[in-house]
A = this chain, B = another copy of it.
Amino acid sequence: MLDLTASSADITRTICDIPSVSGDEGHLADLIEEAMRAYPHLDVLRDGDTIIARTTQGRAQRVVIAGHIDTVPINRNVPTRDVVIDGEDVIWGRGTVDMKAGVAVQLKLAAELVAPRVDITWIWYDHEEVDAELNALTRLARTRPELFAGDFAILGEPSGAEVEGGCNGHMRAIVRTRGVRSHSARSWVGENAIHKAAPILERLSVYEARQVPVEGLVYREGLNAVRIRGGIAGNVIPDVCEVEVNYRFAPNRSVAEAEAHVREVFEGYEVEVIDKAAGARPGLDDPLAQEFVAAVGATPRPKYGWTDVARFSALGVPAVNYGPGDPHLAHHDEESVPVAQIEDVERGLRAWLS
């Protein structure tokens, strides 16, 4: 039985020590469901390994606050340890940053805020760290879109206890060259597809990514090769070379505009888009968002990575990331979160919601 009267740091330790690598969230979901059903001010429902708990105070506004309960694979970094880094108390271990400290704060506040100033829909969901198709929010947006209804949404993704608004969009594409295969002893009979890729890498290496202001936040873009492959044997001139590029684009650029840009950069080459997702505007011009930022006393920053805030944004709900932990440490084997940031986020959310 989860003890939600413990401190949010203690709850962080407890739930990090319950492994819940994507696909294996069942036990932690059971414990969360059991804990939430003990509170009469919450309507609790479960869908797969996702637990939803809602207040129904009849407030004029509703806020959705969500966190995923899965982690990337453990690498000898569970159970957690209490360590001191640069004089600061931190909790070290898998999930501390991404994102069980954020979930711990949410669980504690869900239990304690019996009469918040807005109605709240708490969502703790599974399968965030794997293919988007497995993500519980993908399923729920299709089967129960009403659960996402709200005037504002907060994702507890690590943001260093600051508010990170919106997110860049992203796209992956294959840029392909073709040649003619031949034996490498008679290379002049063939055409080398790898050699033909030289200008593709040259364009990437001189590419200057934009920094784009959107609603007061500056989004930094990026266009990068993430994979390259070509050739089939040590004695064959290759007939195809594929450069996989990853484009992160500011949220004022649509997916179609992003694709046109990628095609323009690689003009003269075969371009095949293999993955794409719109970004999310920061939504910080919304009055509720401005109240939230003021109440938590945080500095809004842009979020560069794609997060599930984009799903809310796509449904018309302004959404931000707000959680403890340095996002650069997410997925890192030395993942660790300062206790002070956990307490900051608890204080910030409590101040705004009370």
Contacts and interface: CB of A to CB of B under 8 A. Distances in A.
A204 interface: yes
Contacts of A290: none
Nearest to A168: B185
Given A195-B205, A201-B195, A204-B198, A224 B187 contact: yes
A275 interface: yes
A176 to B, nearest CB: 13
A60 B187 CA distance: 42
A195 B186 contact: no
A183 interface: yes
A154 to B, nearest CB: 20
B234 A246 contact: yes
**Residue from A194, A196, A220, A229 whose CB has the most chain B CB atoms within 10 Å:** A194
Contacts of A246: 184, 234-235
Given A198-B201, A201-B201, A225 B234 contact: no
Nearest to A186: B304
Contact of A222 (B185, B202, B220): B185
A296 interface: no
A226 interface: yes
A237 B229 contact: no
Nearest to A167: B185
Interface string A294-330: 0000000000111000000000000000000000100
Nearest to A231: B227
A273 to B, nearest CB: 13
A241 interface: yes
B241 A228 contact: yes
A275 B204 CA distance: 31
A233 interface: yes
Contacts of A195: 201, 204-205, 224-225
A243 B185 contact: no
Most B CB within 10 A of own CB, among A209, A225, A328: A225
A248 B185 contact: yes
Interface string A212-248: 0000000010101111111111111110010110101
Contacts of A205: 192, 195-196, 198
Contacts of A236: 226
Given A194-B228, A194-B243, 17 more contacts: A168-B185, A170-B184, A183-B328, A183-B331, A185-B305, A194-B226, A194-B227, A197-B201, A225-B230, A226-B234, A226-B236, A227-B230, A227-B232, A228-B229, A229-B230, A231-B244, A234-B275
Contacts of A306: 185
A6 interface: no
A180 interface: no
Contacts of A222: 184-188
A234 B170 CA distance: 11
A189 interface: yes
